[in-house]
């Protein structure tokens, strides 16, 4: 066993997350730790909440970072909004819709699933037909930006359907928040959760959540206690709430919150619309670069995420060998396919601080070199990315 301090290698992170974290954010996370009930830290918590409200584009009072990765926020939302026997309609077009199904079944909810092909957006007509057939649905849950496929669904239209049929909307915006428009109030989203390690470009380990008045009322009027004590929003908000004295719930990850706060400041300084525009423009550069290599995309153009690009692996190319060579020889991480897409696609991320023209050029050149060595480079021409 090594007794030396760990020195991680320098990587260009172009997978499905985490994304690059700037020295400014890392330096913020390294500042002196103070107590999580220190009056100075309590005031700092209000700043974090305000910045998250700005990022979610919401005035929801119940907006906070859950202490845990985005999977914890997914489970927290489900256990707070559902009781045993409640009916949940899940839109499943990838791994993370399926994860919702499995969590809800453990809660004891009655789960109705609307399936769509992996790599395609959620079919609104199918969802509406299912809501008509299940008028007692309590929650409609969907993934805005499916990380396993790179497909974007129409969150506003899905939230409108939820309200039309008298149920709550629960949106997974883990990969979308900070990369493409997310408009909680304007779209009428009742509850949403995200993660810090993708387009926010903070270290992994925290997950922003926001719940509107209708979702808060459901939690307040539950017939049974929330299944998880740690994830009970009623208890957590006694710590994160802004009215009255704060009561101890758990020891908050103080230094991780420093990093999240700094990352949110960076986004605000850049301007959210400018950040969205950068993701769209750099994604177009990636499309040109990859098509120049003879590669094609899984998701149709109108349903494609700019921050997570799913690329078909050419016939005869060893998926794992290419990713290994990119990592070991070029210091670039890209993601593998999941589920039925395993071995068939690569997932190339352009998230947050990793979303730069120089990242595209470096990835293109490295892929060209590796594919040439493995017989998969169909284009001998090298085109500069502009």
Identify the domain boundary among 235, 268, 301.
268
Residues 171 and 42 in one domain: yes
Residues 219 and 285 in one domain: no
> pLDDT (tens digit, 9 = 90+) per residue, 126-146?
999 999 999 999 999 999 999
Residues paired with 110 in a beta bridge: 87
pLDDT for res 237? 81
> pLDDT (tens digit, 9 = 90+) per residue, 278-312?
999 999 999 999 999 999 999 999 999 999 999 99
pLDDT, mean of residues 166-173: 98
Show the domain range for 54. 23-268
Residues 277 and 216 in one domain: no
Q: Residue 31 and residue 319: Cα distance in Å, rounded?
A: 41
Report yes or no: 208 and 177 within 8 Å, Cβ to Cβ.
Answer: yes
Name the band, by pLDDT with cuts 50, 70 and 90, for residue 386: very low
3: pLDDT strictly greater than 90: no
Tokens of 76: 């927290």
pLDDT, mean of residues 6-17: 96
Residues 260 and 291 in one domain: no
Identify the domain boundary among 245, 268, 291.
268
DSSP state of 352: G
Count of domains observed in the chain: 2
177: pLDDT strictly greater than 80: yes
pTM of the model: 0.95
> pLDDT (tens digit, 9 = 90+) per residue, 104-131?
999 999 999 999 999 999 999 999 999 9
Q: Residue 22 and residue 5: Cα distance in Å, rounded?
A: 21
168: pLDDT strictly greater than 80: yes
The pLDDT mean for the chain works out to 94
pLDDT, mean of residues 38-43: 92
pLDDT, mean of residues 16-43: 95
pLDDT, mean of residues 313-326: 96
Q: Residue 305 and residue 39: Cα distance in Å, rounded?
A: 41
CATH code for the domain in which residue 344 is found: 3.90.1150.10
pLDDT for res 377? 52
Residues 178 and 135 in one domain: yes
């Amino acid at each position: 066993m090594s007794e030396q301090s760990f020195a991680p290698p320098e990587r260009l992170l172009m997978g499905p997350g985490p994304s690059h974290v700037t020295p400014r954010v890392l330096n913020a996370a390294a500042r002196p730790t103070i107590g999580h009930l220190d009056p100075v830290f309590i005031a700092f918590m209000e700043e974090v909440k305000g910045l998250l409200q700005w990022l979610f584009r919401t005035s929801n009072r119940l907006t906070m970072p859950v202490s845990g990765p985005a999977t914890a926020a997914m489970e927290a939302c489900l256990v707070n909004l559902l009781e045993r026997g409640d009916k949940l309609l899940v839109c499943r077009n990838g791994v993370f819709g399926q994860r919702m199904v499995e969590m809800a079944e453990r809660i004891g909810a009655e789960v109705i699933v609307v399936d769509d092909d992996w790599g395609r957006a959620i079919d609104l007509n199918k969802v509406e037909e299912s809501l008509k057939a299940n008028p007692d649905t309590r929650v409609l849950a969907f993934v805005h930006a499916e990380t396993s496929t790179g497909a974007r669904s129409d969150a506003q239209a899905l939230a409108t359907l939820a309200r039309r049929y008298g149920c709550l909307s629960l949106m997974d915006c883990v990969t979308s928040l900070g990369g493409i428009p997310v408009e909680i109030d304007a779209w009428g989203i009742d509850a949403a959760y995200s993660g810090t390690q993708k387009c926010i470009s903070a270290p992994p380990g925290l997950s922003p959540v926001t719940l509107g008045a209708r979702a808060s009322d459901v939690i307040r009027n539950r017939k049974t206690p929330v299944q998880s004590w740690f994830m009970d929003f009623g208890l957590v908000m006694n710590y994160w709430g802004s009215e009255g004295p704060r009561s101890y719930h758990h020891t908050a990850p103080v230094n991780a919150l420093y990093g999240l706060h700094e990352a949110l400041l960076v986004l605000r300084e850049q301007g959210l619309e400018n950040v969205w525009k950068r993701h769209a423009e750099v994604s177009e550069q990636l499309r040109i670069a990859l098509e120049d290599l003879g590669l094609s995309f899984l998701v149709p153009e109108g349903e494609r995420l700019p921050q997570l690009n799913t690329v078909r692996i050419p016939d005869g190319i060893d998926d794992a060998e290419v990713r290994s060579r990119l990592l070991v020889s070029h210091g670039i991480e890209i993601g593998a396919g999941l589920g039925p897409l395993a071995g068939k696609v690569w997932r190339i991320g352009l998230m947050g601080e990793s979303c730069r023209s120089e990242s595209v050029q470096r990835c293109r050149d490295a892929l060209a070199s590796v594919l040439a060595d493995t017989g998969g480079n169909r284009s001998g021409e090298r085109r500069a990315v502009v």
